Amino acid sequence: MDSIIAWINDQAAAARAQYAVNPWIFLGLMVACAPFFYYSIYRLVRAVAQKDTSRITLWSSVFLAATATPYLYVLLFGRNLPWYVYLILAALLAQGVYSLVKKIRGPRG
């Protein structure tokens, strides 16, 4: 068990040294944004059910912010990142926007 924890700490130190991104801060942002993420989904579904467009816009924005914050940390503070990291982050953001639009529109049939 100690060797696994030591390995994780070594990987975190290597990421900090090479990319200037602290994995613990990233993890902290993910955990901190999780309640906002789930609450915004709850409120967004309620707003869609009530057809309240002003609330839909508000909670969509909260949802997007809660989703994007940890990845924005990587984009803003990361250095020497491989090109494919930017591609993956852009794909995740695009997928989030697509899912959000799909949830707002609801089932069409």
Let me know: does 57 contact 44? Beta carbons within 8 Å.
no
Q: What is the predicted pLDDT for the residue at 71?
A: 87
Q: According to the model, what pLDDT value does residue 22 have?
A: 92
Cβ 102 vs Cβ 47: under 8 Å: no
Mean pLDDT of 28-41: 95
Structure tokens at 20: 């200037």
Domain boundaries along the sequence of the chain? 2-105
Residues sharing a CB contact under 8 Å with residue 15, sequence separation 6 or more, in sequence order: 21, 22, 23
Q: How confident is the model at residue 107 (pLDDT cuts 50, 70, 90)?
A: low
The per-residue DSSP string of 37-96 comes to HHHHHHHHHHHHHHT-HHHHHHHHHHHHHHHHHHHHHHHHH--S--HHHHHHHHHHHHHH
Share the mean pLDDT of the chain.
87
Residues 6+ apart with CB under 8 A from 81: 19, 21, 74
**109 or 85: whose pLDDT is higher?**
85
- Spatial separation of the C-alpha atoms in residues 65 and 72, rounded to whole Å: 10
In tens, the pLDDT along 63-103 reads 888 988 998 898 889 888 888 988 988 888 788 778 777 77
Q: Per-residue pLDDT averaged across 35-45, rounded?
A: 94
Q: Residue 109 — very low, low, confident or very high, per pLDDT cuts 50/70/90?
A: very low
pLDDT bucket at 108, cuts 50 / 70 / 90: low
CB 74 within 8 A of CB 21: yes
Cβ atoms of 24 and 85 within 8 Å: the answer is: no
Q: What is the pLDDT of residue 27?
A: 94
